[in-house]
Chain A
Amino acid sequence: MSHQNDSCHTRVWLYGGLCGAFVSAGALALTFVVSSGQAAIVGETRTVEIKKAADPTVDQMKAAYMRPAMIPFPKDNPYTAEKADLGKKLYFDTRLSAANAQSCASCHNPGFGWGDGLAKGVGHGMKMLGRRSPTIVNAAYGQIFMWDGRAGSLEEQAVGPIKAEVEMNLPLAELMGRLKSIPEYVALFKAAFPKDGITEDNLARAIATYERTVVSGIAPFDAWIEGNDTAIPEPAKRGFAVFNTKAACAACHSGWNFTDDSFHDIGLDTDDVGRVKIVPGVLKMEKAFKTPGLREIARRGPYMHNGSLQTLEEVVEHYDRGGVDRPSRSEAIKPLGLTAQEKSDLVAFMTALTSQSDPVPVPVLPR
């Protein structure tokens, strides 16, 4: 059965009472539903013929990686300069933590590609956290946030670490009091949110607005995509082809930000249950984590959700081996049989995704 021929048609199943007529499989089939319960009824899985698309040309592959022209801001939290300016001050302000010692920038530091350069983050009381601090680069383009996807919006993500006991450990109600005691913050909130000033929601809106302005710079890869054929070296061009074909990295690291915003067990040796804590009972979500984007990747090591791989070369070796073979492992992860040159070409390609970022000025904070 070809899906292409079937998808636009509604077929009819006849239930009983057909005066003894015998109708065989095809456009008409006889089916008798016997029971009912609390679940939908799943039938037998069959193999169907799917028309295989022709292999894309290099130009077709390149078209999938064009930088977007605009930063997307949500309708319920549109950009304003006042919000972004306030959000930047909040982002860099250590008074957003119980100990007055940590800001968002402590773990998401522009100097480390908006991460912290550590295998695992450091939280309240200088205690090591369970996972690596993800970058906030290109968060504006994200669909779901945190390694396990427990935050559905950037606004939700922005305040999560502030109130998490193991991270910044500051209840938002207490933070509201702190902010209201700082006259310059009162004025800045009033300018950004004339209707209600300092509120927990407005705190989230301001930080998220600033985070959305943090977009990766133009990398050599972008210039190549735009048509400058000498912008990246030949190994990087070959690596791009391997990335999209033999290694199939693009099955998950897709689009201009190189992520599908989805969750996969990539076979790492880890005790962390990952996404399944958020969606219990789904086998494929065991040890599954969100696909990280690859922009600015060369300055964002160590790698993986637990920082267990130190270099991009180690990352490529992991994927080439295929990791631990277990039921939850993604079907996309399997031994690749890459040659030494293909591995080094992949690293050359990923290196070309890193821009020459300008220094980020730290704001003068309200007193």
Chain B
Amino acid sequence: MKLVKIAAAMAFLAGGTLALAAEKTIGQKGKLFSEKEVSIKKGDTLVFVNDDNIAHNVMSSTAGNTFNLGSQAPGKSTPVTFDKPGDIQVICAIHPSMKMLVKVAN
């Protein structure tokens, strides 16, 4: 698995087809995710920004879309792209009351 950013010209040469992928920012201020539930499409990206004043550890154990950002300090931003459809429970491992549901559609 890897995410490779390339220039448009190279993509064109590779014969890729046009597709749109959305990106949405999720904040964590006050030990809360800025959204309790978000619906996205396969291939979309959520950018987890720690806009709180303490470290968080955003992760998911949902099969097919597992990830663990580890300790994310205030002022850090990390994108996570979901390419498997399904309902994904995202939590902060440090603060279990921080929960959000990511619904990934095909």
Contacts and interface: CB of A to CB of B under 8 A. Distances in A.
Interface of A: 1, 3-4, 6-7, 9-23, 29-50, 53, 143-144, 149, 251, 260-264, 279, 281-285, 288, 330-332
Contacts of A36: 1, 83-84
Interface of B: 1-9, 11-12, 14-27, 31, 34, 43, 45, 49-51, 53-55, 57, 59-60, 63-84, 88, 93-97
Contacts of B81: 33, 40-41, 43
Interface of A is mostly: loop
B96 A144 contact: yes
Contacts of A29: 5
27 contacts: A12-B21, A14-B20, A15-B18, A15-B20, A16-B17, A16-B18, A17-B18, A20-B9, A22-B9, A31-B3, A32-B6, A33-B3, A36-B1, A37-B1, A39-B64, A40-B67, A40-B88, A41-B82, A41-B83, A46-B76, A46-B78, A47-B75, A50-B74, A149-B96, A261-B96, A264-B94, A330-B55
A22 B6 CA distance: 10
A9 B34 CA distance: 13
A43 B3 contact: yes
B31 A260 contact: yes
A164 to B, nearest CB: 22
A43 B45 contact: yes
A260 B66 contact: no
A30 B43 CA distance: 13
A30 B22 contact: no
B11 A18 contact: yes
Nearest to B31: A260
Nearest to A276: B93
- Of A14, A16, A37, A260, most buried by chain B (CB within 10 Å of CB) is A16
Given A17-B17, A143-B97, A282-B57, A31 B5 contact: yes
Given A11-B22, A43-B79, 11 more contacts: A32-B6, A38-B66, A41-B83, A46-B78, A149-B96, A251-B54, A261-B97, A262-B94, A282-B57, A282-B68, A331-B71
Contact of A18 (B1, B18, B57): B18
Nearest to B8: A18
B16 A15 contact: yes
B5 A42 contact: no
Contacts of B70: 283-284
Given A15-B18, A15-B20, A1 B11 contact: no
A40 B80 contact: yes
B73 to A, nearest CB: 6
A74 to B, nearest CB: 15
A363 to B, nearest CB: 34
Contact of A3 (B2, B6, B49, B63): B49
Contacts of B54: 251, 331-332
Contacts of B27: 3, 7
Contact of B5 (A32, A40, A46): A32
B12 to A, nearest CB: 5
What 6 A-B pairs have minimum CB-CB distances, sorted nearest first? A16-B16, A16-B11, A43-B79, A41-B81, A18-B8, A40-B67
Given A15-B21, A31-B3, A43 B80 contact: yes
B78 A43 contact: yes
A7 B26 CA distance: 7
Contacts of A149: 96
B77 A20 contact: no
A80 B59 CA distance: 39
Contact of B8 (A21, A47, A143, A251): A21
Given A12-B21, A46-B76, A3 B51 contact: yes
A16 B12 contact: yes
Contacts of B76: 45-48
A32 B16 contact: yes
Nearest to A7: B25
A260 B52 CA distance: 14
